[in-house]
């Protein structure tokens, strides 16, 4: 597959390097030869294979379970009987096996009844260590592994992946495969998971298939969850009035470790990064709990401990596609000046099914009467990146506002994934990999300079 592409890849690589070098407001000239609406993989597809054996654990996924990376929440689903909540785990150097117990959850949605959803947190893990773990104890056991991050620190190199709006189409499968061939060791997932709600009665069987599809990555490295609109699953017409019911039962987050009161906004530290996850679909006005939480969280960020400050959210603030245009405005108005004040390095969002990267801009001076309402270059501001390009069944957002606004540095309607390779306290290398090129070709790439340790203008840095 990769071989067949080689000559066109070389041509595209040349073309794209020209586009990238001319920094400042590029709409990629890359044209997909097929802009077809993606289709979901069929229920009997290999990507959704049910593991064999009585009550075999399926949909295995892990996420960070504490503030600093010494705990992991292990989650899986069994279907025949509840079975055990026990996780057995050990490292290469451990002289004994450890066990942890968790809890099992079930829910119903319209006429769907979930399997037995297990969540078990394992704690007191050593940093920078490979752990093996087993679930399904007492019935069919399955074994997986993960590697804990290095201890939190100023110059710790660490590579994150970024995927959003993945869904479960053939394109989603390509995105995930390409991500698996990257060096990403933790995935920052910017919301909209299964798209089960696009099916009649939000057919929750598509939540199960999504869990089985993503297991091949999410069982081996933590996926850091952000809630999107497709997680809301609010549908009073079929009697479903508890928002986030499937998502909150299936995907847990370590929100209590950062003193949050809601699973959809929280923070973690990992390597040299302090990562703040915000909730686009929870209240965020100045009198809300999310606002209170964020305003107490930001002063706690210690850039001598975690040099990089990263924010995840679902609905982007800087978006120049017609799709979801200005939807991020209400939140931007509330929080943007804080992002500038606390020197957030980069903000990742999804929602718009395309790719876009902003310049370092801010637009926080407007006060209704003064007319100061244009984004301006601001080297204290974050770079805003939209990675809503995972490949779900709704298809690409292709309709862009014209001309390209000055805040938009690069935009392209293609599927793909991002990686953020933090090198040290001053430098991180960001790249965006479009699916059509195979995983080794970077369509958009740049060095990000840390806003606290290296607050120079990084917008015109030549790419080596
Ligand atoms: C730990 O559990 C694994 C899998 O069940 C087993 O292969 C291994 O022998 C156990 N190690 C110890 C020290 O009991
Ligand atoms: C749920 O209802 C739909 C139609 O209303 C039907 O097609 C489907 O088979 C039902 N599923 C279950 C599990 O009963
Ligand atoms: C499955 O495992 C559970 C928990 O260990 C156990 O209670 C149950 O008897 C097992 N079921 C069968 C059929 O072995
Ligand atoms: C999904 O991707 C995997 C890994 O590349 C591949 O083995 C599998 O056949 C793909 N499945 C579908 C339905 O495309
Ligand atoms: C992953 O890292 C290795 C070693 O640094 C490097 O050679 C390789 O090109 C990287 N792969 C990707 C896809 O960036
Ligand atoms: C910030 O972190 C550094 C390194 O861990 C530590 O020495 C320092 O005391 C911390 N500062 C505060 C205010 O906690
Ligand atoms: C709005 O901004 C203008 C100009 O910056 C200033 O003169 C005015 O007092 C501000 N209004 C309020 C209510 O703060
Ligand atoms: C793009 O969206 C605008 C605003 O909704 C609409 O007027 C225009 O016709 C759209 N263009 C295309 C090509 O769909
Ligand atoms: C930080 O990383 C960048 C990029 O790899 C490198 O050029 C720079 O020398 C590094 N800084 C230090 C202090 O090592
Ligand atoms: Fe969305």
The catalytic position among 119, 252, 314, 324 is 324
**Predicted local distance difference test score (pLDDT) of residue 379:** 95
Atom of ligand 5 nearest to the CA of 433: 13
Q: Classify 56 as helix, strand or coil.
A: coil
Q: 342 in a domain, yes or no?
A: yes
Mutate to test the pocket of ligand 3, among 81, 134, 141 (most ligand atoms within 8 A of CB): 81
Cα angle 191, 192, 198; round to 5: 170
Q: Classify 438 as helix, strand or coil.
A: coil
Ligand 8 site, residue 35, Cβ cutoff 6 A = no
If you take atom 1 of ligand 1, which residue's CA is the nearest one?
97
Indicate if the alpha-carbon torsion angle 333, 334, 339, 341 is positive or negative. positive
Q: 122 in a domain, yes or no?
A: no
Q: 200 in a domain, yes or no?
A: no
Angstrom distance (rounded) from CA 245 to CA 233: 7
What Å distances lie between residue 346 and 32, 113, 275, 281, CA to CA? 28, 40, 10, 21
Q: 247 in a domain, yes or no?
A: no
Centroid of ligand 2 to alpha carbon of 299 (angstroms): 50
Atom of ligand 1 nearest to the CA of 143: 4
User: First vs last Cα of the chain: how many Å apart?
Assistant: 28
Angstrom distance (rounded) from CA 427 to CA 419: 14
Ligand nearest to the CA of 1: 4
Mutate to test the pocket of ligand 7, among 364, 365, 369 (most ligand atoms within 8 A of CB): 369
Packing angle, helices 170-180 and 205-218, rounded to 10 = 20
Report which secondary-structure segment, H or E, holds 285: none
**Domain containing residue 427:** 153-191+264-463
Mutate to test the pocket of ligand 5, among 158, 183, 432, 439 (most ligand atoms within 8 A of CB): 183
Phi-psi region of 282 (alpha: psi -120 to 50; beta: other; left: phi over 0): beta
Q: Which residues form the pocket of ligand 7, taking CB atoms under 6 Å from any ligand atom?
A: 367, 369-370
> What's the predicted TM-score (pTM) here?
0.94
Centroid of ligand 8 to alpha carbon of 403 (angstroms): 13
Supply the DSSP string of 189-214, one letter for each residue: E-S----GGGSGGG-THHHHHHHHHH
Q: 318 in a domain, yes or no?
A: yes
**Predicted local distance difference test score (pLDDT) of residue 36:** 75
Centroid of ligand 10 to alpha carbon of 429 (angstroms): 26
Angstrom distance (rounded) from CA 287 to CA 295: 11
**Predicted local distance difference test score (pLDDT) of residue 439:** 60
Query: How many alpha carbons fall within 13 Å on the CB side of residue 130?
Result: 4
Ligand 1 site, residue 97, Cβ cutoff 6 A = yes
Q: Which tokens is 321 given? A: 């596609």
Active site residue 353: no
Centroid of ligand 5 to alpha carbon of 440 (angstroms): 9
Centroid of ligand 6 to alpha carbon of 303 (angstroms): 8
411 neighbors 356 (Cβ within 8 angstroms): yes
Indicate the number of domains in the chain: 1
If you take atom 5 of ligand 8, which residue's CA is the nearest one?
322
Q: What is the CATH number of the domain that holds 330?
A: 3.60.21.10
Q: 133 in a domain, yes or no?
A: no
Centroid of ligand 5 to alpha carbon of 337 (angstroms): 37
Ligand 4 site, residue 46, Cβ cutoff 6 A = yes
Ligand nearest to the CA of 450: 9
Q: Classify 307 as helix, strand or coil.
A: coil
Buried b / exposed e along 244-262 (16+ C-beta atoms within 10 A): bbbbbbbbbbbbebbebeb
Q: Which tokens is 53 given? A: 């054996």
**Predicted local distance difference test score (pLDDT) of residue 459:** 87
If you take atom 1 of ligand 8, which residue's CA is the nearest one?
399
Q: 367 in a domain, yes or no?
A: yes
If you take atom 6 of ligand 9, which residue's CA is the nearest one?
427
pLDDT tens digit at each of 464 positions of the chain: 333 333 333 333 333 333 333 334 788 766 565 567 899 999 999 999 999 999 999 999 999 999 999 999 999 999 999 999 999 999 999 999 999 999 999 999 999 999 999 999 999 999 999 999 999 999 999 999 999 999 999 999 999 999 999 999 999 999 999 999 999 999 999 999 999 999 999 999 999 999 999 999 999 999 999 999 999 999 999 999 999 999 999 999 999 999 999 999 999 999 999 999 999 999 999 999 999 999 999 999 999 999 999 999 999 999 999 999 999 999 999 999 999 999 999 999 999 999 999 999 999 999 999 999 999 999 999 999 999 999 999 999 999 999 999 999 999 999 999 999 999 999 999 999 999 866 666 899 999 999 999 999 998 544 44
Angstrom distance (rounded) from CA 429 to CA 159: 9
Angstrom distance (rounded) from CA 187 to CA 64: 11
**Predicted local distance difference test score (pLDDT) of residue 11:** 35
**Predicted local distance difference test score (pLDDT) of residue 375:** 96
Ligand 4 site, residue 180, Cβ cutoff 6 A = no
State the DSSP code for 325.
T
Q: Which residues contact 8 (CB under 8 A, 6 or more apart)?
A: none
Centroid of ligand 3 to alpha carbon of 83 (angstroms): 6
Nearest to 62 by CA among 313, 190, 251: 251
Q: Which tokens is 390 given? A: 């995972």
Ligand 9 site, residue 426, Cβ cutoff 6 A = yes
Q: Looking only at Cα atoms, what is the longest distance across the chain? A: 69
The number of residues in the chain equals 464
Q: 413 in a domain, yes or no?
A: yes
């Amino acid at each position: 597959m990769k071989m067949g592409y080689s000559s066109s890849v070389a041509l595209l690589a040349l073309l794209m390097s020209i586009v990238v070098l001319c920094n400042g407001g590029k709409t990629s000239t890359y044209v997909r030869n097929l802009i077809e609406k993606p289709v979901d993989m069929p229920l009997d597809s290999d990507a959704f294979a049910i593991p064999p054996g009585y009550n075999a654990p399926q949909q295995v996924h892990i996420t960070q379970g504490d503030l600093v990376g010494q705990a992991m929440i292990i989650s899986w689903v069994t279907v025949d009987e509840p079975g055990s909540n026990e996780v057995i785990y050990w490292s290469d150097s451990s002289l004994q096996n450890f066990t942890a117990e968790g809890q099992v959850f079930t829910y119903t949605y319209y006429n769907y009844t979930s399997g037995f959803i297990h969540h078990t947190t394992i704690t007191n893990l050593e940093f920078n260590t490979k752990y093996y773990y087993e679930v399904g104890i007492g019935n069919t056991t399955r074994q997986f592994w993960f590697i804990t991050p290095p201890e939190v620190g100023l110059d710790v190199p660490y590579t994150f992946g970024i995927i959003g709006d993945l869904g479960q189409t053939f394109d989603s499968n390509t995105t995930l495969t390409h991500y698996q061939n990257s060096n990403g060791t933790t995935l920052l997932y910017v919301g909209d998971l299964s798209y089960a709600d696009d099916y009649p009665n939000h057919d929750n069987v598509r939540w199960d298939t999504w869990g089985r599809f993503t297991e091949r990555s999410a069982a081996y490295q933590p996926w850091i969850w952000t809630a999107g609109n497709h997680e809301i699953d609010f549908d009073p017409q079929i009697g479903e009035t508890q928002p986030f019911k499937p998502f909150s039962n299936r995907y847990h987050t370590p929100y209590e470790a950062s003193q949050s009161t809601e699973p959809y906004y929280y923070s973690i530290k990992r390597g040299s990064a302090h990562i703040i996850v915000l909730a686009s679909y929870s209240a965020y006005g100045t009198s809300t709990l999310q606002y209170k939480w964020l305003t107490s969280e930001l002063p706690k960020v210690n850039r001598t401990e975690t040099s990089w400050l990263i924010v995840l959210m679902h609905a982007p603030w800087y978006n120049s596609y017609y799709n979801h245009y200005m939807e991020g405005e209400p939140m931007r108005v509330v929080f943007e000046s804080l992002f500038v004040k606390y020197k957030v390095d980069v903000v990742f969002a999804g929602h718009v099914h395309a790719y876009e990267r902003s310049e370092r801009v801010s637009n926080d001076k407007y006060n209704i009467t003064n007319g100061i309402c244009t984004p301006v270059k601001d080297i204290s501001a974050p770079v805003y990146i939209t990675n809503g390009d995972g490949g779900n069944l709704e298809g690409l957002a292709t309709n862009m506002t014209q001309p390209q606004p000055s805040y938009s540095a690069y935009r392209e309607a293609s599927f793909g994934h991002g990686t953020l390779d933090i090198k040290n306290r001053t430098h991180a290398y960001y790249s965006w990999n479009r699916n059509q090129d195979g995983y080794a070709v970077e369509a958009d790439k740049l060095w990000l300079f840390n806003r606290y340790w290296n607050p120079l203008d990084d917008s015109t840095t030549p790419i080596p």
